[in-house]
């Protein structure tokens, strides 16, 4: 056990994972979370690792970039992946969770660890004499933001994210809504094995007239007031539904409302468009509206979303919200080990450093936690190989162009290409995954970082 303590600011996915990795390596951790003392605009509980948007943690298969990242993390004893898999709900080839059960499990594991002390309180400084992992997330408080901006010596970059509404199952008209998945059809950018199963989603079917009326109402809906110029900058992969509606009549029908592969049993045909609802809790009593993050006023949301077939009497337990997400100009500030360039005992992790997605955020927490443990036990920190997904993400946030830096999900384009290049997409992804896992084995052995053989590819 190390005689030093580390401080972690923020008990989100990244901070929770970092705390676990540190404590499992014998380093005592003071984990600070301001929720419980100071709430945020989008969180509803004081649990660690609360999910505020979707309840999906991405695809599982090794031919999906997110699936490869999970496999690498699973081998390294990830708390987040383990708790997610223990609280999974049906979602085809994706890992979706009962959000409350998942967050409660993470919180319980952290509170039960003898080397982790969970403090409820706001941190407002970045004292240079305290080994610190900054994982305060995109909703960093104003006081800490001011301290961070002073340390960075440059402006933040901003983008916005949104949480989709959640409805109760009992309020839905199941004589109109049908249960089905796009069997054999994966979502864009996902491998075929990530296709939905036959009963994974509830589908609200539109005919053409109903769809066009809905899109017109959505495009004309009144937005909540946003107070900063940067509040109107959105990350392309998480655009509000009304923004998509304003881009053109068919934009939603070729996006989150695409009907392909979904046969309505009443007609024997695909609808003109659909809104899909995904199970949000283990009891299957709550469902979230897939792809319907929004910044509409709450009254407008209720009015417009009740135009969706089968949702005329929908009971909304959570309406959509927009919130400002803040991230660092990380390429100018961080190294691939996630250390601050001129403060080696200050590390940063999570969405605020420029990764997008739950698992991606947790992955950076895993890297930061392990590296802090190495630093405090007299060993050099690690920059994981670029041909692993962990390494690809950490190198991206440290080495991308600061001028054009935007949040990034795990994706195959981050990995070095194969030599020779394989034209077949499935074969190429399988080969990239095999290479990544083999590289992880060799690197971990050389670095003295033991792996756990729990993924489908044997170590």
Q: How many residues are listed for the chain in this entry?
A: 459
Tokens of 264: 């309505």
Q: How many CA atoms lie within 13 A of 131 on its CB side?
A: 22
> How do strand 88-89 and strand 94-97 relate by DSSP bridges?
antiparallel
Q: Give the H or E element holding residue 220.
A: helix 208-220
Q: Give the H or E element holding residue 94.
A: strand 94-97
Query: CA–CA separation, 394 vs 196, rounded Å?
Result: 31
Q: Where are the alpha helices (DSSP H) in 87-191?
A: 99-112, 142-152
Query: CA–CA separation, 202 vs 200, rounded Å?
Result: 7
| Strand partners for 249 | none
Tokens of 396: 């991206």
| Strand partners for 325 | 159
The DSSP 8-state label assigned to residue 247 in this structure reads T
Which among 65, 79, 84 has a CA at the least distance from the CA of 29? 79
Q: Are 285 and 202 in contact (CB under 8 A)?
A: no
Q: Are 434 and 69 in contact (CB under 8 A)?
A: no
- Sign of the C-alpha dihedral, residues 224, 295, 283, 86? negative
Q: Are 381 and 371 in contact (CB under 8 A)?
A: yes
Mind listing the pLDDT tens digit of every residue in the chain (459 residues)? 667 899 999 999 999 999 999 999 999 999 999 886 666 666 678 899 999 878 999 999 999 999 999 999 999 999 999 999 999 999 988 999 999 999 999 999 999 999 999 999 999 989 888 999 999 987 888 888 888 888 887 665 555 566 789 899 989 999 999 999 876 555 444 444 444 555 679 999 999 999 999 999 999 999 876 544 444 445 555 688 999 999 999 999 999 999 999 999 999 999 999 999 998 877 788 899 999 989 899 899 999 999 999 999 999 978 887 666 677 889 889 999 999 999 999 999 999 998 888 999 999 999 999 999 999 999 999 999 999 999 999 999 999 877 667 678 898 888 998 999 898 989 999 999 999 999 999 999 999 999 987 555 544
Which among 74, 110, 112, 113 has a CA at the least distance from the CA of 95? 74
Query: CA–CA separation, 304 vs 292, rounded Å?
Result: 12
pLDDT at 144: 87
pLDDT at 43: 66
Residue 172 Cα distances to 80, 168, 307, angstroms: 32, 7, 12
Residue whose tokens read 């050099």:
380
pLDDT at 140: 82
Measured in degrees and rounded to the nearest 5, phi and psi for residue 64 equal -110, 140
Q: Are 365 and 48 in contact (CB under 8 A)?
A: no
Residues 6+ apart with CB under 8 A from 187: 194
Residues 6+ apart with CB under 8 A from 31: 8, 11, 15, 16, 19, 48, 110, 116, 117, 118, 119
Query: CA–CA separation, 108 vs 58, rounded Å?
Result: 24
- Would you call 23 helix, strand, or coil by DSSP? helix
> How do strand 88-89 and strand 116-120 relate by DSSP bridges?
unpaired
Residue whose tokens read 């990242």:
69
Query: CA–CA separation, 385 vs 428, rounded Å?
Result: 19
Which among 164, 198, 182 has a CA at the least distance from the CA of 90? 198
Q: Cα 136 vs. chain centroid, distance in angstroms?
A: 15
The full 3-state SS of 253-280, as one line of letters, equals CCCCCCCCCCCECCCCECCCEEEEEEEC
The full 3-state SS of 361-423, as one line of letters, equals HHHHHHHHHHHHHHHHCCCCCCCCCCCCHHHHHHHHHHHCCHHHCCCECCCHHHCCCCCCCCC
């Amino acid at each position: 056990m190390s005689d030093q303590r580390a401080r972690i600011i923020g008990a989100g996915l990244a901070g929770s994972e970092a705390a676990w990795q540190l404590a499992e390596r014998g380093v005592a951790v003071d984990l600070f979370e301001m929720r419980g003392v100071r709430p945020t605009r989008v969180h509803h509980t004081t649990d660690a690792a609360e999910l505020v948007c979707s309840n999906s943690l991405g695809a599982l298969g090794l031919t999906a970039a997110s699936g490869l990242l999970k496999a690498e993390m699973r081998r390294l004893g990830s708390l987040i992946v383990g708790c997610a898999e223990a609280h999974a709900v049906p979602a085809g080839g994706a890992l979706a969770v009962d959000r409350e059960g998942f967050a409660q499990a993470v919180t319980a594991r952290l509170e039960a660890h003898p080397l982790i002390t969970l403090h409820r309180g706001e941190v407002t400084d970045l004292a240079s004499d305290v080994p610190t992992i900054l994982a305060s997330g995109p909703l960093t408080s104003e006081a800490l933001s001011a301290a961070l901006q002073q340390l960075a010596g440059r402006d933040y970059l901003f983008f916005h994210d949104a949480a989709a509404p959640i409805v109760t199952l009992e309020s839905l008209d199941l004589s109109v809504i049908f249960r089905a998945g796009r069997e054999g059809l994966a979502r864009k950018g996902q491998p075929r094995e990530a296709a939905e199963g036959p009963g994974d989603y509830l589908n609200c079917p539109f005919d053409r007239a109903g769809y066009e009326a809905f899109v017109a109402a959505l495009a004309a809906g009144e937005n909540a007031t946003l107070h900063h110029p940067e509040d109107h900058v959105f990350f392309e992969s998480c655009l509000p539904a009304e923004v998509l509606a304003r881009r053109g009549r068919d934009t939603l029908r070729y996006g989150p409302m695409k009907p392909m592969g979904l046969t309505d049993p009443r007609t024997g045909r695909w609808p003109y468009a659909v809104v899909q609802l995904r199970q949000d809790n283990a009891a299957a009593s709550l469902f979230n509206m897939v792809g319907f993050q929004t910044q509409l006023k709450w009254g407008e949301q209720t009015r417009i979303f009740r135009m969706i077939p089968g949702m005329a009497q929908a009971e909304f337990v959570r309406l959509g919200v927009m919130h400002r997400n803040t991230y660092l100009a990380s390429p100018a500030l961080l190294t691939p080990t996630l250390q601050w360039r001129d403060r080696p005992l200050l590390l940063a992790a999570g969405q605020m450093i420029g990764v997008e997605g739950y698992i991606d955020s947790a992955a950076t927490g895993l890297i930061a936690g392990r590296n802090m443990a190495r630093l405090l036990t007299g060993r050099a920190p690690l920059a994981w190989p670029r041909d692993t997904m962990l390494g690809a993400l950490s190198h991206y946030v440290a080495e991308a162009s600061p001028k054009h830096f935007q949040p990034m999900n795990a994706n195959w384009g981050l990995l070095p290409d194969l030599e020779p290049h394989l034209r077949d997409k499935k074969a190429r992804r399988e080969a990239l995954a095999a290479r990544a896992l083999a590289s992880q084995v060799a690197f971990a052995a050389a670095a003295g970082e033991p792996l756990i053989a729990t993924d489908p590819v044997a170590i």
